[in-house]
Amino acid sequence: MKKILLILFLVINLDSFAQDPQLPIIDIHLHAYQGVPPNMKASWAGESYAQGLSSPENASTHLQMVLDEIEKNNIKLALTSSTSIKALETWQQSRPELFLMGIQTDDDGKPILSPDSLKLYFDNNKVNALGELGLQYAGIAPDDPMMEPYYKVAEDYGIPVCLHTGLGPPGGPHTFAPKFRTTLGKPTLFEPVLVKHPNMKAFIAHAGWPYISETIAMMYIYPNLYADIGVLNWALTKKAFYTALKQLMDAGFGKRIMFGTDQMLWPEAISIAIKAVKEAHFLSEDQKRDILYNNAATFLDLSEETIAKHHE
Ligand SMILES: [Zn+2]
């Protein structure tokens, strides 16, 4: 009897392993907060975004909920940005091997560190990326002269850049982001910057949705340009997400699409976003692996040793 139970146990476990091998994932787009911005909670047109997902009351429960999701989904690395240096420190200290940190822009659209400080923080491994740059929220175009010294530092020192493009929360211009303009999210507005900085390592967040044809134009002409699928994979209708993803895959960018969540105040979005990629019927298993891990590993220049460790 014991033997039968043991065999049964092994069979069930082998089976669950085959269905869900829990391969590692990189999330290239998370956010950390210092406190929970009340205006976001109150007005972020949440209904269409959050869809009944629970939202934590304060920063520490937010971090804990994100860590639970990370554990559950075998996320091994997460590029997390914030408007608060304190929040970046808290998150990095909580799991130094897990979090890479990025600096966001403040309400006026300025990155929260000066170009010199960015370089200093980068050298000391306290900041690993420039962005997510929410210039669109402040009514600023990506090629605004104010940004030039930042792009130069990023290009010179190999600091990854994440530019917010495309959509924002419905109702934003009438609530928390009066200067937000839809058309400032067009991916082609990034072109002058890429022309000037051919070696800059950059990705466009949200793949520029709904301007997918512009994203295709940009990724075609600029082979260094990557894109993430944050928000599209949990806040849009599944049909809209799959249509956009399929267009990008069909255009031949399967090696440059990176998984990101952009969980904001709703950590449970992480699981939903991963599930949406895993269930995309038009993707092969290899393509899913590229999106969920390999492409970000290439973008971030991870060492073979780190990649092997993530696969242990
Ligand atoms: Zn964004």
Note the pLDDT of residue 9.
47
Ligand 1 centre distance from Cα of residue 156 (Å): 24
CA of 165 to the centre of ligand 1 (A): 7
**φ, ψ (nearest 5 deg) of residue 101:** -110, 140
For residue 30, the CA-to-ligand 1 centroid distance in Å is 9
| Amino acid identity for residue 148 in this structure | E
Q: What is the CATH number of domain 25-310?
A: 3.20.20.140
Between the CA of 13 and the centroid of ligand 1 the distance, in Å, is 39
Q: How far is it, in rounded angstroms, from Cα 70 to Cα 22?
A: 12
Q: Is the pLDDT score of 11 beyond 70? A: no
Q: What is the pLDDT of residues 140-182, one digit of tens each?
A: 999 999 999 999 999 999 999 999 999 998 888 988 889 999 9
Sheet holding 257-258, edge to edge: 25-31, 75-82, 99-103, 129-133, 161-164, 202-205, 226-228, 257-258
Domain ranges of the chain: 25-310
101: which strand partners?
80
Of the two residues 282 and 107, the one the predictor is more confident about is 282
**What integer is the mean pLDDT of 271-286?**
97
Confidence of residue 53 (pLDDT cuts 50, 70, 90): confident
CA of residue 164 to ligand 1 center, whole Å = 4
Q: Give distance in angstroms: CA of 270 to centre of ligand 1.
A: 15
Contact (Cβ atoms closer than 8 angstroms) between residue 3 and residue 273: no
